[in-house]
Structure formats: C-alpha cells, structure tokens
Chains A and B, each alone.
Chain A
C-alpha cells in the first residue's frame, strides 16, 4: 500500500513525544529500558534454546511415532500349552446329548469348535427325532451365551459364594424338618429318571418334603383321559405314516404339540410325489389357524367348545355304519341325541359327507386325534371313536409317552398355597421352574411366597419366581449338564456336557445332592456324573444283553447318545364306563377364548433369545409380540382392525392386548398364545408380548386352556404389531390371488395329477436368451424344495441363523423391513377371507444363472462362480444396494447398521455372545449386502475333505444348514450336473417349476408344486 503521508510528517506516540520531552528522547536512544538486564546472567540460562527445544520435541515425536508402530507387526499366534487330544484347531468335534428345550427331550448332536459349542442339530441315532430338532432346539445355543445369565449365587440380589449358601440352606432345611414344617420343591415337567431318583433321595433325607410338578404347557388332559379310558396315563404314539385319513381336532400335531418333529416326518411320508403316489388326506377341525390347519386338505372352523358335540355327532354317524367294539343300548343312548345336522350348516353338507365316508371306508387305517388343549371329555370321546373305527391298530405302544412324575393337580397346588399362607411351609425350592409366571393369578402363589420362611430358586437366569425369593442360584445350561431322559418307551437318551461350566454355576441335581449330604464340601464337579453312571449301571446296563463291561458300555452310550431298551408293551382294553360316565359339554354362544402353546419361546423360557423372538410366526408372520387373533367377520362386528387394543374379560380376570385379523379363524373366537409378557427377564425379552396366563384360573370347568364365557370389547388405543409380511385384506382386488396369477405358487390337486401328470408343464413357454449361455462343467450346485412337505415350521430359518451368524435387529428395524434372515417362509392366502386356502413357500437366494443382481454392481462385488453360485464378496461391497433393487425375489439383506452394535444397546456385542459365531462365516458389519450363500463354507469344507481323501466331490457330500434342519426333508441340495443325484431328478419332475420363470433369470432353486388331496380337480 502506498504511503500517502508526506515524508515530512512526524509520527508521535504520546503527548510527551509530541512535545519532545528529553525523557522520551533519551529512551529512544537506548535500546533497552533501565533495569531490564539486571537479573540477566547468561551462565544461568538453560543450554536449550527455544528453537532447539522445539526441534527436539518434534523429532522425538516423529521417532516415537515410527518406533511405536511396527507396521509389519501381525500380532501373535498362540497355540495351546497342552493341546487336548480331541481337538485340532479348525476341525469341529461332535458330541451327542439331549435337548432340554421342552419335554420331548430330543436327541441332539452338538458341534463344537476349539471347545465352544456353535451349533445344535438332531442326533440321527435318536429313533424319534432321527437327526432333526425344532427351531427352539436350534436357537437354544444362544442361551448358553446369554449375557444376563446368572454367574454367581445371589442372596437378596447380592453376590455370594456357594459355601455360605449351602451352609445356610442346609440349616434352613434341617430347621424346617425339625420344626415339622413342609419343604416344597416346585419343578417343571420331570423328564429324567435320574433326577426323579435324586428327588426321591431328597424326600428320604427330609421326609417333610413334597414335590410339586407344574408346567404351563402340558398334556395333562390327554393323560387324564387315558387313565379313565385305559387305566394308565401313558399314552401311545400314533403311526401317522400308516394313516390314510387323519382328522385333527384343534390338534397342532404338525406344528407345536407333542412330538411334532416326529409327527412331521411320519406325516410327510404320505405326501411323497416321487415314485408311487400314496397320499393321505388331512382333515382339520379347529378354531384357530395353526400350522396343521395350513396343511389341511379340508379345514373346518369348529371352535374348541363345539368339539365335544362334533365328536359325538361323528360317533353317532359312524357307529350306525358298523363298529369294531360292542355297543350296548346305554352307550347308544349316550351319543344318540347328537346329530350331525348342526354341523352340516356349519361346515357344509358335502364336506361333512366326505369326512364321514372317508372315515368309514378307511376303518383301522385312519386316526382321529384331539389336541392337548381339549378337555378330557373330548379326548375320551375320541378314544371311543377310534375304538369304534378299529383305528387302535395305528397306536404305537412300543414308544409310548411316559410319565415319570405326575403333574400336580389344582387341589395339590391350592393346598401348597394354603400351607404357605398359614406359615406351615419352611422352605420353598423352585427347581428350574417359574411358578410365579406360569401359575394363574388366582392361586395367589406370589403373595403366599412372601409368607414362606425361605425361598430358593435354582435357574439359569433371574425370573419372576427367583425375584420373589431370597436365593437365586445359577444352574448349568443344558450344554453344561449331565442328565438323561426317558420320555418315550424303549428310548433312553443321555445328556453329557460339552463344555465345562463357564460361570460359577452348578448342576441342579448336584446342588440337591450336596444338600442331601448335609455338607457343603461334598460338592465336586463329578458328584452328579457319578450318580448318573451308577444309576445307569443299575437300571440300564444290568438289563442289557451285551458282552461289553460297564465302563465301555457307558462310553459307547455317551457316544451314541441313545440306548434302545426293550420294554414289554401291553395295550389295554377300552373301559366303556369311561365313556358312559362322561359329563356332556355344550358349546357356547358367547366368545370363546383359546389359549395355546406358542411356536418359538416355550413357556417363556426362551423369551430372552433374540433369534427366537425374531423368527416370524408361521401363520401371521408377526415377530416380537403375541396378539389376540380374531376372524375378519368378528373384527367387523366389533369394529376393530389389526393393532387395535381389545379388552378381554373372563369372570373377574382380564387382559388388554392388540387384535390381529387372522383369516380362517372361527367366528366369535379368539386365540392367544401363552408364554409372552415376561416381566423379570433380560433386556431382549422385556415387555415383549402380553401375558395370557392372566386369563387362566385355578377353577376350571373343563380344560384350563379355553373359556366359553368371555366378553370382548374394543379398548381404546393401539399397539403396533410388527410382521415380516404385508397384511392385505384378502378381497382387495389389487392383490387378490396375485401369487397364483403370477405363478409364484403353482398347485394342483391329486385328482388332476392322476389324470394328467403333466398338467403343470402344459402351458410352459419356451424362453430364449439373447446372451451367450455359460457352460457349467464340474459341479453345479442347485436346490429343490418340495412344497408338499414344507409346513412353514421355520426350523430352516433358525438353523440358517445359527450357521451364518445372522444378527438380531429388534422390533423397530423389523417394522422397517430390515430383518436379516437369509431364508424366509412366505405364506399366501387365496379364496375367501373366512375359509382361506393357505400356501407356504420357502424363499432364499435363487442363485440365478442370469442373475439380475450381478450385472448392476458398480464395484463387481457380486458375480458368479464356475460352480453355479452367486457370490457376494463382503470386503468389496460399498453399499450401493443396486443389487437388492434388482433382485426380483427380494432375498438380499442389507446391513443398515452394525446390528450387533445397534440392537438393544450392543446387547449381543460382548465377549461371551461372540463365542456363538461360526468361525467359518464372516461376521458382517455395517454397509455390506448379504444373502444366502448355499452354505459355501460347507461346500468348501466338503471340497477340502474330498481333496484330502483323493476323491471327487459329489453333491451328496454337501448338506446345507437348512437342508440338514428341515424335519420333513423338503429341501434337497446337490449337484445338478450329476444325473443320478436327487436334485437333478427333481429338476426334471413333472411338478417342478421355478418362481417368476418368465423373467428368464434361470434360478437354480426348483419348487415342486403342492398337490392337495381333495375330491375335485380344481383347487378353488
């Protein structure tokens, strides 16, 4: 900037300066003011100048930076110190054991890697489950790694140690004994004969002990009925595969009741479309829409309160056409007053005639089966009907359902509560049970507990009962426990621990054994192990006809997991007096409320298992909730829509929960699942669902599971139910039957197939391609899914979740459609809303040859392998999501968040739960796309084994997780280029089709069309 002042201008800083004061003039001449350098001593200054200091600082920082990071450092590789013989890092070990998920005690094989259990599958040697287990069993592995497991004994919620706990409780037990007070042990259903022995020993030591057995989901009605009918409470299994006609009355025998895995396998033996066609016909009469109802050839909407009259009407009709047992006039007058005309109007005259004719012509080759929730009156009537029809030849007494410890009756439990209220109970022990949650309110159990002197709970996690007590003692998870099971005749199943207890928990029987011994120091890790071995030698080995010694036999039994023992079976005669003395039940005009088992969380014990909460309900596809299912017409009458809150009142008990419009339900009928609404539970299960036990009561007229005198009204407000499928109204013209029109579901009837086996392929168009075809030599992986066998049970989903480290996303993310499961089961309705026809279809990545997703990835993260797989490379994916946009089947899942970090405040991101991950599968983080990989890790492992053994890789060497899990073997996987493989044959089947074939994406998943066994050639 130019200096615009004239050079002659003077610049002054102060008035003194302006006046040219001599002081200022002097100051201007001196460089420094006076006294500035007085204290200056150059020798005392530091040798380090500012400049030097800064230089040194930055140089040392730079040096430290480079020295600190050895950029080549790859960490350490740490071997074992003393390698266990059994373990080779990288090779999985398998152990046979038994599952404790429910009372069926299926045999399991636990897969472990480096000592950690990572997958549970069925034990192929187990005669009833034959290598399959249910979704609960598959996902129960997460319970071992539950971050909120009890790790140490707690007294009044404060940590303590076992020594003091043992001492205090032994004192309390001795005091109760000496002062004449009762010691109450409340258990769930006892499935283990050795546990029963321990309990008996406990009673022997403390004679004031009483054992109470109570479980929320039970088959007590059937056992009572069998006791009346045949004099024993052990009922036989059913040879479903020999039945031509099955009539299931409110019986979800293929979905959630009894030994349903076994039932599914046997039922689908009669739904085979390969080879000779010998279909059975399934009639289902039910109020709710269950999995079995979805599979029915003919479905009748009869609510549980009308079942008695229905069975009586059938007895009347069928006995007039012949009977295998003698019927006297007394009996005839008992059922004579029931006519079938009432049901003709309800279900249609022709359908009813079909049923009666079928049952009549298939005597001794059919079965009528009543569900667990129906009262014993109906069960006895059904037994009588089967006797008339000669169907008892289908009863399998060789593997009947045993009863080790009888369920306590309502009187016995009321007695306990009274004793507690009167101060006559010294100690209450909750032996892996949760009575505060599972007992109906009006027992008053929770408040009576406060009056008991000491309440001890033995459980894996804190629950409602342990929170109401003094001591919460951690017990071993099923994978850390010894045990056995004898729930079916002739089948003795063993349970062994595959991992030493991770925390300071103990085997629950061992805890009792310590208390029996009366001394805390008797406990060691092996006392129950030894007890079990001794019991095994005494009861099982001694009866075996074998050359091996006891020890060898024990080890071989543990290896196999199952011992088949010979048992004499003696079918009893039917006691006709049981039928004569029946109390007649009548149907009601009011609302009927039906409470029944849910599909995935048991009696509430799996409510904290994120995987199970997120598996969609087989029928409604709702996750993270239960609801009151109502039929569309009932909903219209009440003026409610889905998600509206309903107020249900039975006597003085009530419950408010959201409604869900379920097509196919009976009218004036509500079905609710039990087991939800837990309050004292980990973060995952908190406030999930509504507790329907609030509607149950200790005083019941027939069955504790349904009430006919309910009043239902619309409460205000809404509760959002989150479902993985869109819920349209069925008669919405835009979506009506779209799955049939678009040929997503192609079906036929058996009649049509018999006349024209090739009917499905008649209208097939020839598709041509404008690009060059890729030739696949070598293996070409393909899958075939038989829709005749798929029951929508979701075990494949659970198995895939465990195998592929699928993340749990939580209710809010599911509502946005971000559920991460790689395989889903679609359920389609057609027909009219009140009587829908249901179709199931598993949908997973089709690994299309002409995949529309591969062309559009900007970074080529997804492409095709030479063996036919559509590859998804996580480390290359940048998250464009164009591939998911292009996928016509919508099977690609995107990680919008790092779900392990996002779900429930990083609940599953901790050291313990990380152990459940399969080390062969990448754990995906935020921003990458994932999808079904046809279990490429298993394909690669099989390929590696084939190379090691110097043989070619065959399609049958590879078993995908879903295929391994499917109880009905609906999924077949293998090499399409091998003409002898089952999958190649299924691709050429008459009934094979591809979904959305006309898009010419050439999917490699073939579906076999479902054939319905109705009397007509058309479905609708």
Chain B
C-alpha cells in the first residue's frame, strides 16, 4: 500500500514531535528548577564566615548582626565594624580575620555574594514576618548548622503563598497566627 502524506504525518511525524516537545519541556522544567527557585545555591564568600561557629556554637543571636530584621523592611548584612567589635582582639592572627581586618582598615566594604533574593518587583518586608513570631529557620533553613550558607527553601511566589494561605500547618510553633495577605499590593506595589 502506498504511504500517503497523512500516514507519514500521523504515524511518524506527530509522535516524534510530541515526544521531542514533551522531553524538552520536562528537561527544561527540571534543569531550570535550580535557576527558578535557587534551591541549593551555595556560593563561595570572600571571607569564609561560618554561621555554624558564630550562631551555632557560640550562640550569638541573629539580631546582633542582622540589625534591621525586626525594625524595617531589610534584614541588613552586618557592616565590618560589627565584626570588629570582637575581632580586633579575638583570633586576629588567623588568615580569614586578617582578610577582614584589611577590608576594615582600607575602608572597602566586603562584597558578600548574595544568596537569598526576592526579585525586585516584589517588596519583601522582614520586620512584619519577624514581629509576628516567625523564626529565621522557617525560611532560611537551619543556618546555625551551616558552615557555608546555602539556600534550602525555594523563594518562588508559590512558596510564599503556600505559607500565607496555610500558616497553621507550615508554622506549627506559632500558637495564634492568621493568614498572611494574599492581595497583590501586599508585595507587588
């Protein structure tokens, strides 16, 4: 029987196209997941600061360094002079501390690599979340156990809304918590 064009199209081309499309969509989805929600991003920092040592072992409170987290929108990466509060004296012969002191003395700010970033079209407000009792670990993971900080939770809008719509199950340690705002202008103003 002679093969018609339609035959050819239906039996060979169509399944082939569908297969290619499906594979590329699935591949792109999973391969780009890291880029889309940045889970697992663990860059090297200019100075090997270890949260495990400072926040975990030495139990320094998060808010000692991250000053703005309960006061205003930004959590604030600590400036060098906060580090030098202790490190003018403690461990000042270690190579990383020498790097730190050099930065401090030359007046150059330390260019930390940013890990957690909400896109610029969304205005995230730290103090509202912290003042409602939400623990740092609920979004940033167990930073106290991290030598090098990495992002462990996805920072997509879906992730935010999952918690906003269902805080009782997502944050079981809070006794009384209402749903977070769902309207656009809460974040996208």
Residues of A near any B CB (own CB < 8 A): 71-83, 88-91, 863-867, 869, 871, 873-876, 920-922, 933, 936-937, 940, 943-944, 947-948, 950
Contacts and interface: CB of A to CB of B under 8 A. Distances in A.
B17 interface: no
Given A79-B76, A81-B80, A865 B34 contact: no
A340 to B, nearest CB: 61
A83 B71 CA distance: 16
A871 B73 CA distance: 21
Contacts of B76: 79, 88-90
A944 B185 contact: no
B79 A77 contact: no
Contacts of B35: 71-72
B68 A91 contact: yes
B19 interface: no
Given A72-B34, A74-B38, A81-B108, A873 B184 contact: yes
A873 B49 CA distance: 39
Given A81-B79, A90-B74, A90-B76, A944 B114 contact: no
Interface in B135-189: 181, 183-186, 188-189
Contacts of B77: 77-79
Given A89-B68, A89-B76, A944-B125, A922 B189 contact: yes
B131 interface: yes
B95 interface: no
B110 interface: yes
A184 to B, nearest CB: 45
Interface of B: 34-35, 38, 41, 43, 67-68, 70-74, 76-82, 103-104, 107-115, 117, 121, 123, 125, 127-128, 131-132, 181, 183-186, 188-189
A876 B113 CA distance: 29
A76 B80 contact: no
Given A72-B35, A72-B41, A81-B109, A920 B123 contact: yes
Contacts of B78: 79
A33 B51 CA distance: 77
Contacts of B185: 865, 869, 871, 873, 933, 936
A79 B128 contact: no
A936 B186 CA distance: 9
A244 to B, nearest CB: 47
B109 A79 contact: yes
Given A79-B77, A933-B189, A940-B189, A91 B71 contact: yes
Given A74-B114, A866-B183, A81 B67 contact: no
A591 to B, nearest CB: 54
A88 B73 CA distance: 10
Contacts of A90: 68, 71-74, 76
Contacts of A75: 114, 117
User: Which 5 interchain pairs have the tightest Cβ spacing?
Assistant: A80-B79, A90-B72, A83-B79, A875-B121, A865-B183
18 contacts: A74-B38, A76-B111, A79-B80, A79-B110, A82-B81, A83-B82, A88-B72, A863-B184, A865-B183, A865-B185, A866-B181, A866-B183, A876-B188, A922-B189, A937-B189, A944-B125, A947-B131, A948-B71
Given A871-B185, A873-B188, A944-B128, A81 B74 contact: no
Contacts of B128: 943-944, 947-948
B79 A82 contact: yes
B146 to A, nearest CB: 17
Nearest to B103: A81
Nearest to A920: B123
Nearest to A77: B114
B137 to A, nearest CB: 20
Contacts of A83: 79, 81-82
Nearest to A949: B131
Contact of B125 (A74, A79, A940): A940
Contacts of A869: 185
A864 B185 CA distance: 9
A937 B81 CA distance: 31
Contacts of B181: 866
Given A76-B111, A77-B77, A875 B132 contact: no
B68 A88 contact: yes
B117 to A, nearest CB: 4
A594 to B, nearest CB: 47
B188 to A, nearest CB: 5
A79 B112 contact: yes
A338 to B, nearest CB: 63
B81 A81 contact: yes
Most buried by A among B68, B103, B127, B189: B189
A940 B113 CA distance: 29
A365 to B, nearest CB: 50
A76 B114 contact: yes
A950 B130 CA distance: 12
Contacts of B73: 90, 944
Nearest to A948: B131
B104 A81 contact: yes
A692 B97 CA distance: 68
Given A79-B76, A944-B72, A88 B189 contact: no
Contacts of A920: 123
Contacts of B117: 74-75
B80 A88 contact: no
A944 B70 CA distance: 10
Contacts of A80: 79-81, 109
Most buried by A among B35, B78, B188: B188
A717 B159 CA distance: 65
Contacts of A948: 70-71, 127-128, 131
Contact of B71 (A88, A864, A867, A940): A88
Given A79-B77, A82-B80, A83-B79, A88 B109 contact: no
Contacts of A933: 185, 189
Given A90-B72, A948-B70, A875 B108 contact: no
Nearest to B35: A71
Contacts of A874: 121, 188
B121 A922 contact: yes
A472 to B, nearest CB: 33
A91 B72 contact: yes
Contacts of B115: 74
A90 B125 CA distance: 10
A89 B74 contact: yes
Contact of B107 (A81, A91, A940, A944): A81
Nearest to A84: B79
Contact of B184 (A79, A871, A937): A871
B125 to A, nearest CB: 5
Most buried by A among B34, B107, B183: B183
Contacts of B67: 88
A944 B186 CA distance: 11
Given A74-B113, A81-B103, 15 more contacts: A72-B41, A74-B41, A74-B114, A74-B117, A78-B77, A82-B81, A83-B82, A89-B76, A863-B183, A866-B181, A869-B185, A873-B184, A873-B185, A873-B188, A944-B127
A78 B34 CA distance: 24
A904 to B, nearest CB: 27
A418 B186 CA distance: 68
Contacts of B109: 78-81
Most buried by A among B71, B72, B81, B104: B72
Contacts of B121: 874-875, 922
A948 B126 CA distance: 11
Nearest to B120: A922
A75 B77 CA distance: 14
Contacts of B107: 81-82
Contacts of A936: 185, 189
A1004 B80 CA distance: 49
